[in-house]
Chain A
Amino acid sequence: MAKDKNRGYKKKPKGNNKTEQSTYKAKKTNKRFAYWRLLVNIGYLVFSGILFYCMITYNPGYDWLFNSLIKNTYKSKEQVLTITTDQKLESKLGFDAKYLLFLKSKTPEEAIILMPPPEIITRKRDGGLFSNDSAYAGNLYWASYFVYPRKLVYEGNESIYSDQITHVAIINKWGYQYAPNVPEDQHQEYSVINL
């Protein structure tokens, strides 16, 4: 049987040979299947491309996701790898985290730390450094996460540890009244003192 140059598969066999007939049919189907498969896959590619293009062009949500959130994550990856966990927490949670991590680093694990009342922990909107939102050093539950297993006691709040204070958190120069031996010229804005 000669090969049909135009169609790419062999000419239809003549006669009653059933094996040849079925082989011819199978090859023809396979060839048609291959063309269709190629076409469908090109269709998949084109559809995916159009879908993706429309998503990021016509919807601000997808645009933000791809062009801001994910893109910036890849972009800043190298930089993020070089900074410490404490620095990351500070960058995310601001001065609240920075101060609490400072307390943690300057006190032993069994420390019981006296914290000032909420009005002393001044928020940004009141001219202070602490956060305006609910992530806040004045919140016992939230703040304890950063200093655990140290215990926090807020001035004015009842606690079973009120009479076992080992350290005082100095915020906006509050707290030095519990350490009268510290000279006034050594008073700092933010610190921690050992009683």
Chain B
Amino acid sequence: MTALLFFTILAILGGLITYKTGQRDMWLMLGLSFPLGFGYITIVSFIFDLLHVPITIISGTVAILIGIAGLIFNQKDDIVNHNFNPQACLKSVVHFFKNYWGSLFIIGIIAYLLLGISTKAILWPTAAYDSIEGFDFVAKVISQEHVLRNSLFDISYPLASVRAPYPPLVPINFAYAYMAGMEYPKIISVLFIISTFFIMFGLAKDISKNLFIGLILAFILMSTPEYLAMSALSLTNVPTALYAGFGLIFIYRFVNTSKRTDFYLGLILLTLGMWTRTEVIIFSIVAILILGLWSYKNKKYKETIVLTGLIFGSYIIWKLYVDLVLQAQMQQSLNFLPFYDGQKISDILNLVKFVTFSTQYYGWVVYLFLGFGVTLLLPKNRMANVNLYIIIIITWILYVILYYQMDNVDANGNLIPNYITAGYRRGFFSFLPLITYFIASSAPIILTSEWINKKL
């Protein structure tokens, strides 16, 4: 009961934050409510820790209620008088079932999938090695000791593995699940999966202007075998995929539409991504680059400066906290200087090729990306879509380079395959929303949708 109440008010807060950004799409608000709520409680708990305020379910609840009150007060006129209209939401649901009853089969399949994976996540305790040695252990100790700088990081008896000082978004939210009385914290993973579905549906439907196409694309994303299977484990990759993938999508949308809501959402999601896993820096750098080009073209530099400041600020704050307060070793060491190792390049590329093109892992998604890429040659295609294709490929190249720059070789100088077959394999999840969004915005989808909509 405590957990239900806690996460309900957290979602309300996240919904209000989404509303504050100017986003009014019901599905996007639904999808973003938990991820933004999780982000809020993470930042607040981090501040609590700095101020020596205990992280408890009561302090967390008070912080959420203050946030809700503040946001309602701030937007009260808008909510009461203007835009917020529950009747319109209900009307759109009725409209959906009236005009799209043919989607019921796919809705049934999606429900079957989501319910199945949620059941698996909720019924089984944490068993993933990384989680036991890392974030779940940290969460467990936070829930007992009510501080982030807890006994795991006691330098006289250190229990913190290299995974323990991961950015705190996942451990803190897991800790709240424990403190709310849940036996396992994997409800958080479930909420991330469901959120991912709603966001993808909201975006795909918005760009294709067809609810059925939106559903099909969200279904293709959700049913990616490795992604959905990993969703049931308490790993950080599924939340990272949401923050990094959708963050970059919103920034991309902003440079195309100049809608402030897209900028705010991209900014928030990428920043929260940095509080989830530092590898989000790759997606953030690409976002900064495309925003920088937009700034240069439009002579508006504020957005790029704010995004850059928040991304690198988040990284620096957490790095300083780990070094100075926790005094722990921060995950993977990177070689920042360029170097050449032909054998390593060959080993990485071979494994990357094997993993990326494995239909066992990603189903048809990568092949759909390549197939729809061919349609870029169609004369009716849009330039913006070509840009998105290039952005995804550049991000992917940078992501592979990240693995090359990592200190991931054994004593004999050979690549440790696990970095690619496990790390890269799960890290690729962040590309799934980008690929699905690209498909949604591709010419065949847009033209089909326009043809159907014209007749309706």
| Interface positions of A (Cβ within 8 A of B) | 33, 36-37, 40-45, 47-49, 51-52, 55, 59-62, 64-66, 69-71, 73-74, 77, 80-81, 85, 88-89, 92-93, 133-135, 139-142, 144-145, 148-149, 151, 159-161
Contacts and interface: CB of A to CB of B under 8 A. Distances in A.
Interface of B: 99-106, 109, 112-113, 116-117, 119-120, 123-125, 127, 129, 132-133, 136-137, 140-141, 144, 151, 156-157, 159-161, 164, 183-184, 212, 216, 223, 225-226, 228-229, 358-364, 452, 455-456
Contact of A151 (B140, B157, B229): B157
Given A65-B228, A141-B161, A160-B157, A51 B216 contact: yes
16 contacts: A40-B456, A41-B100, A41-B102, A44-B100, A61-B225, A61-B361, A64-B225, A65-B229, A69-B228, A69-B229, A70-B116, A73-B116, A80-B123, A85-B125, A88-B124, A144-B137
Contacts of B183: 85
Which residue, of A48, A66, A133, has the highest number of chain B Cβ atoms within 10 A? Answer: A48
Contacts of B120: 69-70, 73
Nearest to B228: A65
B105 A49 contact: yes
Contacts of A36: 455-456
Nearest 6 interchain pairs by C-beta? A44-B102, A41-B102, A70-B116, A61-B225, A92-B127, A141-B161
A61 B355 CA distance: 13
Given A59-B363, A69-B229, A141 B455 contact: no
Contacts of A55: 223, 363-364
Contacts, number: 134
B435 to A, nearest CB: 15
A70 B112 contact: yes
Contact of B123 (A45, A62, A81): A81
A44 B103 contact: yes
Contact of B132 (A42, A88, A145): A145
Contacts of B225: 61-62, 64-65
A45 B223 contact: no
Contacts of A148: 137, 140-141, 144
Given A69-B120, A70-B117, 5 more contacts: A48-B105, A61-B226, A62-B225, A139-B133, A144-B137
B159 A144 contact: yes
A66 B108 CA distance: 13
Contacts of A42: 102
A133 B132 CA distance: 14
A65 B223 contact: yes
Contacts of B226: 61
B100 to A, nearest CB: 7
A134 B129 contact: yes
Contacts of B124: 80, 88, 92
Contacts of B116: 69-71, 73-74
Nearest to B226: A61
Given A48-B106, A61-B363, A74 B229 contact: no
* Most chain A CB atoms below 10 A, which of B113, B228, B363: B363
Contact of A45 (B105, B156, B358, B456): B105
A77 B119 contact: yes
Contacts of B156: 160
Contacts of B140: 145, 148
A125 to B, nearest CB: 18
A181 B164 CA distance: 41
Contacts of B159: 140-141, 144
Contact of A48 (B109, B136, B137, B364): B109
